[in-house]
């Protein structure tokens, strides 16, 4: 149950070894890592590192004819292109090819060995199993800080959809993506 790193690996490896295997994907295949975590954050970190190195290039005898500028929309477009190049490896077709059946929808346990998957058209499939892997990933936590709900804020779920560089940003939290974005922005 889940189509991120844990669900992908579990379902694909089971299928490759001849087991009857299914992966239930409520959201985009690839989970947090591909879509709102590891992959896009590393792409932005690389851009930030290159910009910082270019700003310090004079320390190494390298000069530029003008100031270093950052084209944020181009950086974000590049990040999305990199993410789309990686996505086929994590996609449903690749999981099917590995021998696992893919169900797109929300999975709910209905018994000790049964699970129902309801897709976006409200069609329900009932699956039976001997063993299940629950790999549903994480969700951003928005703390109850007075005034926060009245302020515009972003989480890692929508951060990588930005097209305009925020003039300033406060990072709340100390998770991996928060720490990476604190370095990047």
Structure tokens at 13: 């490896």
- 109/168 Cα distance (integer angstroms): 44
**Structure tokens that stand for 69 in this block:** 């500028």
Tens-digit pLDDT profile for residues 90-149: 888 889 999 999 999 999 999 999 999 999 999 999 999 999 999 998 888 899 999 998
- For residue 119, the number of C-alpha atoms closer than 13 Å in the C-beta half-sphere is 8
CA gap 89, 23 in Å, rounded: 15
- Structure-block tokens of residue 152: 């515009």
Note the pLDDT tens digit of each residue in 146-180: 999 898 899 999 999 999 999 999 999 888 999 99
pLDDT in tens, 34-83: 999 999 999 999 999 999 999 999 999 999 888 899 999 999 999 999 99
Residues 6+ apart with CB under 8 A from 21: 10, 11, 12, 14, 15, 99, 100, 101
Contact 127, 4 (CB under 8 A): no
**Cβ-count burial 138-169 (b if 16+ within 10 Å, e if not):** eebeeeeeeeeeeeeeeebeebbeeeeeeeee
- Collapsed DSSP state (helix, strand, coil) of residue 56: coil
């Amino acid at each position: 149950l889940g189509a991120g790193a844990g669900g992908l690996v579990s379902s694909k490896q089971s299928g490759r070894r001849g087991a009857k295997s299914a992966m239930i994907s409520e959201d985009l295949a690839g989970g947090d890592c591909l879509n709102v975590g590891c992959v896009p954050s590393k792409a932005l970190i690389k851009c930030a590192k290159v910009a910082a190195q270019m700003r310090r290039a004079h320390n190494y005898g390298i000069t530029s004819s003008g100031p270093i500028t950052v084209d944020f929309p181009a950086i974000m477009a590049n990040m999305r292109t990199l993410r789309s190049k990686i996505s086929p490896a994590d996609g449903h077709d690749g999981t099917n090819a590995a021998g696992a059946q893919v169900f797109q929808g929300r999975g709910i346990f209905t018994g000790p060995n049964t699970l129902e998957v309801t897709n976006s058209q409200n069609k329900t499939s009932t699956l039976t199993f001997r063993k299940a892997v629950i790999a549903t990933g994480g969700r951003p936590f928005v703390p109850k800080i007075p005034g926060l709900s009245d302020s515009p804020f972003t989480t890692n779920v929508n951060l990588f959809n930005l097209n305009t560089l925020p003039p300033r940003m406060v990072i709340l939290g100390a998770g991996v993506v928060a720490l990476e974005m604190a370095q990047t922005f």
